[in-house]
Structure formats: structure tokens, C-alpha cells
């Protein structure tokens, strides 16, 4: 099922109140890929917010597994809708248990005398093709078949690298009709945690909390454009990793800032 079809399911579920389910080819182990889970919650939330109000930040907590091929509901609650800012929460509920929880903050554009340009840039050349993990049955996460990743710096998971940074490019293997914030949410989470490349053997890891802040450049983005990704580990110890990432569009405009807390065993 294409990413556009999944987002359509999320929109429809808010209109008719019926549950939705996601096929197994979007799974990551025993749960749905976290990026698509967060994207579905965001798309449901988007239906309850003014169309001209932009997403400024979304924080997602992965409470428990969200099983593929099983129905779940997305419950949305508008906490406050002010003149400029709207705060909304959403829950993915499966078998009467909350599996994923998010809080999204939307804000209208306003006139301001304050203008500070982004000073973080990258020097990575655009890739000609994807270059990451090939599809290996029972090894490669199933959802990766939907993503093109081109690794520039860092390593593959469980290869014993000394570095804890991951730099590269990403896009959907089959381009969507348009690129929306929901598409970016799904895309940004495609990369494995930065510290998995430091391990020499497979070890379970999962994102506990993920915060995305969105910047909205004025240049249009094509559906098949590459997005640059640079993630660095700020600190890792006691089974937890704190990482940060910048995401740019193909023209070098910053589009999002990502921060994650990851649990890791090993």
C-alpha cells in the first residue's frame, strides 16, 4: 500500500469514525514503522485544524507496539484553539491500549520584525541512486522497501563503527502525489538510530520519544526530490541515546529539526 493510500485512510477514519489497519509491509519487527505511525496520527490531527495553520512541532511517544494488519482507532482532542496557535493531541488505540501518543502544535504565520536566517548547512552532493541496506528477508525492516536511502557518512547497523553520526539522503521509492508534512514525518524516521552502527551484533532498540520542529521555506518541493539528513549523537549511556538531526530540502533549505530519545540494549 502506497503512503498516499495510508494517509487517505487516516483522513477517512476521522470522517466516518471507523478503525483503520496498516499492512505488514510497513512493519518494523512486531510493530508498525514509527514514522508511518506518527504520520497517520498527524494526518488525523490535521483534519481538526484550520487549513492555513502550519505545523510547528510534533512530539510522539511510542508507548507500546502497534500491530500491523490489525484494526486501531485514532482519537483526536483539540486542547486549545487560539487566534494564532492550536494545540492538539492524538492517540492510536488498539485492543483498548494506547500504542502511540502525540501532541502537535500549529501556528499561523504572523508579521514580525525579527528575522534570523538558519546558519546550519551541509556539503553533501546529491546522490544518483539509493545506497543502503538491500532487502534481505527476515533481516531488513519491511518498511524500508518504501524508502530510498543514500548513506554518505556513517555505517550500517551492527557493523562496529566508531562514529555515532549518520549523514545521507532520503526520498520515497515511489514518489507521492505531493510532499506534505505527513510525508516528511514518515520519511525522516526511516534512518536507524545513530548508535546502532557502533554495535557488533544485533540488539533491540526503539524510539521512546521523538520531537520534530518544522521550518517552512517558500521554495516548492517536488515529490521525487531528495532530502538531506544529518544526525549526530549528543550523548548515550545507561541504555539511552539522545540524538539530533537537521533535514534540508534539495536546494539546501532547512525544513525540519529532529530530536530523539532511543532505548537500546547491548
CB 248 within 8 A of CB 228: yes
Hey, is 21 helix, strand or coil?
coil
> DSSP letters of 30-99?
TEE-HHHHHHHHHHHHHTTS-TTPEEEEEEEEE-S---TTS-BEEEEEEEEE-SSEEEEEEEEEETTEEE
Distance separating alpha carbons of residues 28 and 37, to the nearest angstrom = 11
Question: End-to-end distance of the chain based on CA atoms, in angstroms?
Answer: 34
Which phi and psi (to 5°) does residue 144 adopt? -65, -15
DSSP letters, 135-180, are --TTTS-GGGGGEEEEEEES--TTS--S--EEEEEEEESS--SS--
- The three cell numbers of residue 181 are 508534512
The gap from C-alpha 122 to its chain's centroid, in whole angstroms, comes to 20
Q: Per-domain residue ranges for the chain?
A: 3-109+127-264
Residue 163 to residue 96: CA distance in whole angstroms: 41
Local confidence pLDDT in tens for the 266 residues of the chain? 999 999 999 999 999 999 999 999 999 988 999 999 999 999 999 999 999 999 999 999 999 999 999 999 999 999 999 999 999 999 999 999 999 999 999 999 888 888 888 888 999 999 989 888 777 766 678 999 999 999 999 998 889 999 999 999 999 999 999 999 999 999 999 999 999 999 988 888 889 999 999 998 777 899 999 999 999 999 999 999 999 999 999 999 999 999 999 998 86
Q: What local confidence, expressed as pLDDT, does residue 34 receive?
A: 95
> Can you give the pTM of this predicted structure?
0.94
Spell 22-39 as b/e; 16+ CB within 10 A means b. beeebbbeebbbbbbbbb
What fold characterizes domain 3-109+127-264?
Answer: Porin (2.40.160)
Report the alpha-carbon distance of residue 29 to residue 127 in Å, rounded. 29
* Residue 96 pLDDT: 97
Residue 232, pLDDT score: 96
Amino acid at each position: 500500500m502506497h503512503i498516499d493510500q495510508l494517509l487517505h485512510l487516516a483522513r477517512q477514519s476521522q470522517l466516518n469514525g471507523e478503525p483503520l489497519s496498516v499492512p505488514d509491509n510497513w512493519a518494523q519487527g512486531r510493530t508498525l514503522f514509527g514514522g508511518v505511525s506518527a504520520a497517520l496520527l498527524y494526518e488525523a490531527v490535521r483534519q481538526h485544524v484550520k487549513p492555513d495553520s502550519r505545523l510547528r512541532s510534533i512530539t510522539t511517544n511510542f508507548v507500546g507496539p502497534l500491530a500491523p494488519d490489525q484494526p486501531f482507532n485514532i482519537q483526536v482532542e483539540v486542547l486549545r484553539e487560539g487566534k494564532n496557535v492550536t494545540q492538539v493531541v492524538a492517540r492510536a488505540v488498539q485492543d483498548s491500549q494506547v500504542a502511540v501518543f502525540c501532541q502537535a502544535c500549529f501556528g499561523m504565520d504572523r508579521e514580525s520584525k525579527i528575522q534570523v536566517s538558519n546558519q546550519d548547512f551541509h556539503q553533501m552532493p546529491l546522490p544518483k541512486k539509493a545506497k543502503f541496506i538491500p532487502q534481505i528477508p527476515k533481516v531488513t525492516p519491511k518498511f524500508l522497501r518504501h524508502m530510498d536511502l543514500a548513506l554518505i557518512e556513517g555505517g550500517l547497523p551492527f557493523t562496529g563503527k566508531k562514529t555515532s553520526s549518520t549523514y545521507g539522503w532520503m526520498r520515497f521509492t515511489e514518489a507521492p502525489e505531493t510532499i506534505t508534512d505527513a510525508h516528511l514525518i514518515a520519511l525522516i524516521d526511516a534512518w536507524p538510530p545513530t548508535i546502532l552502527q557502533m554495535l557488533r551484533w544485533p540488539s533491540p532498540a526503539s524510539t521512546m520519544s521523538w520531537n520534530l520542529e518544522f521550518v517552512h521555506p517558500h521554495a516548492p518541493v517536488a515529490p521525487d526530490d531528495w532530502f538531506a539528513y544529518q544526525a549526530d549523537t549528543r550523548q548515550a549511556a545507561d541504555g539511552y541515546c539522545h540524538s539530533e538531526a537537521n533535514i534540508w530540502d534539495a536546494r539546501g533549505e532547512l525544513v525540519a529539526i529532529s530530536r530523539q530519545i532511543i532505548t537500546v540494549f547491548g
